[in-house]
Amino acid sequence: MATESADANALGERQAFAEKLAKSAGNKARSFFLRRDSLTTELKSSSQDLVSEADRTVEAWLRRQILRAFPDDGIVGEEDATVQGRSGFDWVVDPIDGTMPFLVGQPNWTVSIGLAYRGEPVVGAIYAPVLRELYSARHGGGASLNGRALAVNQDWGIDSTTVGFGATQKAGAREVGAFVEALYREGGVLFRVGSGALMLAYVASNRLAGYYDPMLCCWDCWAGIVLIREAGGEVTFDGDLARPGAIWAGNARVHADLRRLSAAST
């Protein structure tokens, strides 16, 4: 794998930077959150796909900090164009994952910072400012929540606790309905918040049995992929740094069941 050739010191340095960056960006976003009624928002693809000046301001700040610290690294972000790097490392950033929850005053939004090395997920930091929770992981270095090690429960099935589902308005209504019906027929119960990054972090921390989204972008899930894998779970992402795709996550059993249920619903 490409991750095997990534220097351990380089990964450790970038993980520490990602943690600090996520918390600082989270504090900046939180200052916007506290005055959210005055923010200017714009529609993107649908009535529930929004961008605010907070998203753009925080991402611009993130990009400046990354390029100052690691000028040879690339950047892939939600709100601006990709920056091509020369080091093999690419930062994958979402300044506010869960813009809708953010704008309506819910606490379930995050700053998500992932790192790719030659296209493979190697570092992830997800910070939920209102909840004061920092999730962090590094390839070969484990996963943690506020410094406490995480390990996915290997005994759970899809009926053990709730299952995260991230379908937005971009998903087909028939497909969504068929998946939910199939999940409930097998004893599963649906859970959804507006942040895919947070739901992936909840899988890594045993707050959810698994997670499925029929269409997610890399900035929503890159950090979460590292978290779950380092916590001993399984993740399949059909997209990459350039295109969105479906994602399935959980322990081996839940991961397989979610793939089976989603395939039957299409």
Q: Which residues pair with 51 in a beta bridge?
A: 42
**Fold identical between 2-149 and 163-264?**
no
The whole-number pLDDT of residue 262 equals: 95
The whole-number pLDDT of residue 55 equals: 87
Domain ranges of the chain: 2-149, 163-264
- Mind giving me the DSSP string for 98-121? -HHHHHHT-S--EEEEEEEETTEE
pTM to 2 decimals? 0.93
The whole-number pLDDT of residue 1 equals: 43
The whole-number pLDDT of residue 2 equals: 46
Q: pLDDT tens-digit profile of 207-252?
A: 999 999 999 999 999 999 999 999 999 999 999 999 999 999 999 9
Q: Are the CB atoms for 219 and 247 separated by under 8 Å?
A: no
The whole-number pLDDT of residue 181 equals: 96
Which of the pair, 158 or 44, is modelled with greater confidence? 158
Looking at residues 54-77, what average pLDDT do you find? 95
The whole-number pLDDT of residue 31 equals: 92
Looking at residues 169-174, what average pLDDT do you find? 78
Q: Residue 50: pLDDT above 50?
A: no
CA atoms within 13 A on the CB side of 69: 18
Domain 2-149 has CATH 3.30.540.10: yes
The angle subtended at Cα 112 by Cα 141 and Cα 221, nearest 5°, is 80
- pLDDT band at 264; cut points 50, 70, 90: confident
Sequence-distant (≥ 6) Cβ neighbours of residue 203 within 8 angstroms:
152, 164, 209, 210, 211, 224, 228, 233, 249, 250
Domain 163-264 has CATH 3.40.190.80: yes
